[in-house]
Structure 1
Amino acid sequence: MEIILLEDVKALGKKGQKVTVNDGYARNFILPKKLGIEATAKNLNDLKLKKANEEKKAQEILEEAKAFAAEMKDKVVVVSLKAGNGGKTFGSISTKEIAQAAKEQLNYDIDKKKMHLADPIKAIGNYIVQVKLHPKVTGELTVKVQEL
């Protein structure tokens, strides 16, 4: 019997896959537990439409991420850091402060975990911070650190 899996089944297949199984296995395990449905023409067509819709949504999300990355590239976030004589700073700036400043200044809601800083910023100047917006899109945000 051919089955379309509705969930991942260990040692059988992934969600959305069409697999062939014994009739008893299908009737006694897969169908009662709602792990799959019978592969009729209607169900196969529904699966095809569902996959096309998911691909369309994924493409829209990718386009939004690319547009946001292009918009973000031109923006500058200003963060102040307390400094003493000779430009020596007290403390550092982490992704948490950058995310908070981006929210206040640019109204961008960026997750601090998506930002990549090799080390916390400990000096005054301009820095480029990598922001992971999508698995395929990484944006750049310019952070200007000035003396408080």
Structure 2
Amino acid sequence: MKILLLKDVEKLGKRGDVIEVKDGYARNYLIPKGFAVQATPSIIKHFQDINKLKEEVKQKKIIKLQAIADKINRLTYKASLKGGKEGYFGSITNEEICEFLKSKDIEIDKKQIELEEPIRTPGVYDVKINLGEGISGVLKVWVVKKEEK
């Protein structure tokens, strides 16, 4: 019997594969457990159409994420830390960077910002922002000493 796999099945194939199995195995195990359906031309076409739509949606999402990454790559965030003879007070955190990006109409979650620990010293930092689907942007963060008045 020809079947279309709905889920990955060990030693048989991956989701979407059309394979030939014994009738009893298909009727008594694969189909009742929801691992497969009998492969008719209409079901195969329907499954291919669904996969095509999913791929189109994924491609649109990737294009959108790439545009956001390009926008992030062009941005520079200038922040300041209070400092004295003893050192610097405060830090630049994921939340601050997230708020800066929100002000530039870029909505991301603070967990997407790859900052191992808060920035506590002046300097120039490249902060990686993981947008998903293997796409990331790098925000340049300039941290300067806040001028005391």
What are structure 2's unaligned runs of at least 5 residues?
none
Q: What code does the residue aligned with 1:40 have?
A: T
Residue correspondences, number: 146
What are structure 1's unaligned runs of at least 5 residues?
none
Aligned residue for 1:132, secondary structure, equals strand
* 1:133 CA drift (Å): 1.5
The alignment's TM-score, normalised by the length of structure 1, stands at 0.81
1:49 corresponds in structure 2 to 49
* 1:26 CA drift (Å): 0.6
2:15 corresponds in structure 1 to 15
1:36 corresponds in structure 2 to 36
2:24 corresponds in structure 1 to 24
Confirm whether residue 63 of structure 1 aligns to residue 85 of structure 2: no
More displaced, 65-74 or 138-147?
138-147
Cα-to-partner distance string for 1:14-68 (whole Å, 9 max, x where unaligned): 2212222211011011111222111111111112212211211111111001111
Cα-to-partner distance string for 1:89-130 (whole Å, 9 max, x where unaligned): 134333344224433x32422223322235542212332211
Q: What code does the residue aligned with 1:109 have?
A: E
2:94 corresponds in structure 1 to 95
2:119 corresponds in structure 1 to 121
C-alpha RMSD of matched pairs (Å): 2.3
Q: What code does the residue aligned with 1:93 have?
A: I
Hey, what's the Cα distance between the residues in 2 that align with 1:41 and 1:2? Answer: 11
More displaced, 110-119 or 1-10?
110-119
- Using the aligned pairs only, state the percent identity: 35
1:144 corresponds in structure 2 to 142
Q: What code does the residue aligned with 2:129 have?
A: V
More displaced, 136-145 or 26-35?
136-145
Residues 115 and 129, structure 1, Cα contact 8 Å, conserved in 2:
yes
2:84 corresponds in structure 1 to 84
Hey, what's the Cα distance between the residues in 1 that align with 2:96 and 2:24? Answer: 59
Change (3 A) 1:146 1:110: farther
